[in-house]
Structure 1
Amino acid sequence: MASTSVSRVLPASPQQVWDLIGGFDALPDWLPYIPESTALEGGRVRRLTNPDGDVIVERLIGFNEVERHYTYAILEAPFPVTGYLSTLRVHPVAGRDDAAEVQWSGRFTPDGVSDTEAEGLFAGIYREGLEALDQALSA
């Protein structure tokens, strides 16, 4: 099993960040790679569409409003992995009320690619996503 994790300190309080990203169906609000999300099964499944028209279906596995994190699994996607499980988490920054650290991590089994290639793919997606989140919060 392969894994990767990316984190970034952002210029907003943990609650401000969580208010933007904490909804499982909120990706289009801050992630340009996902312009469309449809909530299914009472909000426990999201059907995402990327700009190329590819469909990604994900299931919410765990959610904690107080600790500000959720975990999800990919059910269907054009990625070369199986068993994908990811967590998006917001941490406070010690001594700062105006900053939060967001950590996006995942583990998965590469399918037809090396661990390094799969880890690089998701590290890039997470990095670009957190960059987009920083821009959305700074706007």
Structure 2
Amino acid sequence: MATASATIDIPASADQVWQLIGGFNTLPDWLPLITESTLTDGGRVRSLKIADGGVVIERLQTFDNAAMTYSYSIEQAPFPATDYLATLKVEAQGQGARVTWSGRFTALGVSDEEVVALFNGIYQGGLDALRANYPT
């Protein structure tokens, strides 16, 4: 099983950041790669439209509003990975917030290094886009 992770510090309170990213249906609000998100199954499954026209279907696995974290699995995606489980977490960091996006998965048809590089890029690009919402 391979892992990927990215972390970024944001000059806003953890509560402010969680308000933006803590909803399971809020990806289009801060992640330019995602153009649309639709919830089904009582809010536990999200169908995401990607900017290139692709579709990703994800299932919420855990959600802890007080701890400002949730985990989700991928049910369908154009990614070369299986057994995917990712976590998005916001923590107070001094006057600001630290956001960590991490995942574990099994490479499918590519090397571990290739799929790790793919998800590291997605996570870091996503967190950079999130950071752009909070100018200093």
Please say whether Structure 1 and Structure 2 have the same fold, judged by a TM-score greater than 0.5.
yes
Q: The residue matched to 1:75 in structure 2 has which SS?
A: strand
- TM superposition score normalised by structure 2: 0.98
Q: Distance in 2 between matches of 1:72 and 1:26?
A: 14
Counterpart check, 1:127 vs 2:124: yes
1:101, distance to aligned residue in structure 2 (A): 0.3
* Distance in 1 separating the partners of 2:43 and 2:106: 26
Query: What one-letter code is carried by the residue in structure 1 that aligns with 2:86?
Result: S
Tell me, yes or no, if structure 1 residue 106 matches structure 2 residue 113. no
Say whether residues 1:136 and 2:133 are aligned partners: yes
Paired residue secondary structure (2:117): helix
Distance 2:43 2:13 in 1: 26
- In 2: Cα distance, 1:48 partner to 1:137 partner: 24
Unaligned runs of 5+ in 1: none
Q: Distance in 2 between matches of 1:91 and 1:16?
A: 11
| Match in the other structure for 1:67 | 67
Query: For residue 77 of structure 1, what is the aligned residue in structure 2?
Result: 77
Which runs of 4 or more aligned residues in structure 1 lie more than 6 Å from their structure 2 counterparts after TM superposition? none
Identity %: 53
Matches within 5 A, 1:1-139: 1-93=1-93, 96-97=94-95, 99-138=96-135
Secondary structure (helix, strand or coil) at the match of 1:6 reads: strand
Q: What is the number of residues matched between the two proteins? A: 136
| TM-fit CA distance, 1:34 | 0.2
Instruction: Name the amino acid aligned to 2:91.
Output: H
CA drift at 1:35: 1.0
User: TM-score, normalization: structure 1?
Assistant: 0.96
